[in-house]
Every structure is written in C-alpha cells, then in structure tokens.
Amino acid sequence: MFEGGCSCGAVRYRLKREPMFTHCCHCLDCQKETGSAFAINALTEADEVELLTGKPVAYSMQTTSGRPHDIFRCAKCGVALWSDYGRRGYLLFLRVATLDEPHAIEPDVHIYTRSKVPWVGLPGDVPVVAEYYDMNQLWPRTSIERRKAASDKAKNAG
C-alpha cells in the first residue's frame, strides 16, 4: 500500500496495509531522537512491513519509562525507520516521514503534549492528550481487533 525507505536508499520497505493508528508524539524522547518537535509513528503489525532491500539495525535506547525501546535504523545513513517499544516483536511504530508519500498518513492523536514545543499549534479536530490515552476510547474497533490478533499470534508462536 505504501513504500518508503531511508535517505541513502540502502533500506526500502513496503507497508502492506493501512496502519492501525497513528501517533504524533511530542515527548522529549521523540524530540531528542528526531531532532525535531515531534515524531509521527504509524502503529502496525510487524508482519505488515515487508523489507524490499537492506536490513535495519536495532539500537536499544533508554527511556524515561524504563521500558525497552529499540529503534531500527539504516546501517549506512542512520535514518530511523521504525521502533519496537517494549520489545513486543509483533508491533512496530513506523516513522511516517520515511514513507515516499509522508503526508499520506495523518495523526489520529497527539500524545505527550505536556512537553509539546510551545510554538507548535495543534489541529482542533484531532484528539490531544497530555500523556497517553485509553486505546479502547480512541482506536477503531477493527484496529483493536488487529492488535489483539497480532499479540495472540506472537504468543502462540513463542
């Protein structure tokens, strides 16, 4: 459905299905990792991301929550392509800016806005939360079912 990759072209991937949900994260970790005001992450099942060329390298990052956070980067140019928060293995947070059409996916929610850069304005038609949110209140039912199916599949495989 969508294709993307790193800056140098060594890693190319295909997102085979629309994401389950998309965050615009304003936390200080995302600001530091991107060198920008926020990161836009499309949550999707790991098996919905098909590598076309190359292989990203995982870098383990410290977080304020203490949960593991692996950022998968191109080994050549270092661009962050996606993350695995909590080392779930079945769920990826794909960096929307690495898509060939990065504006094709819009955020469904703005999270961790307590640390939002003050000069960034937010749209009035997208939910805004100071920290995180209750998935059952914001996610479409089909996305909740997809996430549960991916989690169940991972548990049964292990």
Q: List, in order of start, the domains of the chain with CATH numbers.
A: 2-157 (3.90.1590.10)
Give pTM, 2 decimals: 0.92
Which two three-digit tokens encode residue 158? Answer: 């292990």
Contact 48, 3 (CB under 8 A): no
* pLDDT of 61 higher than 90: no
Number of Cβ atoms within 10 Å of the Cβ of 143: 18
pLDDT tens digits along 94-135? 999 999 999 999 999 999 999 999 999 999 999 999 999 999
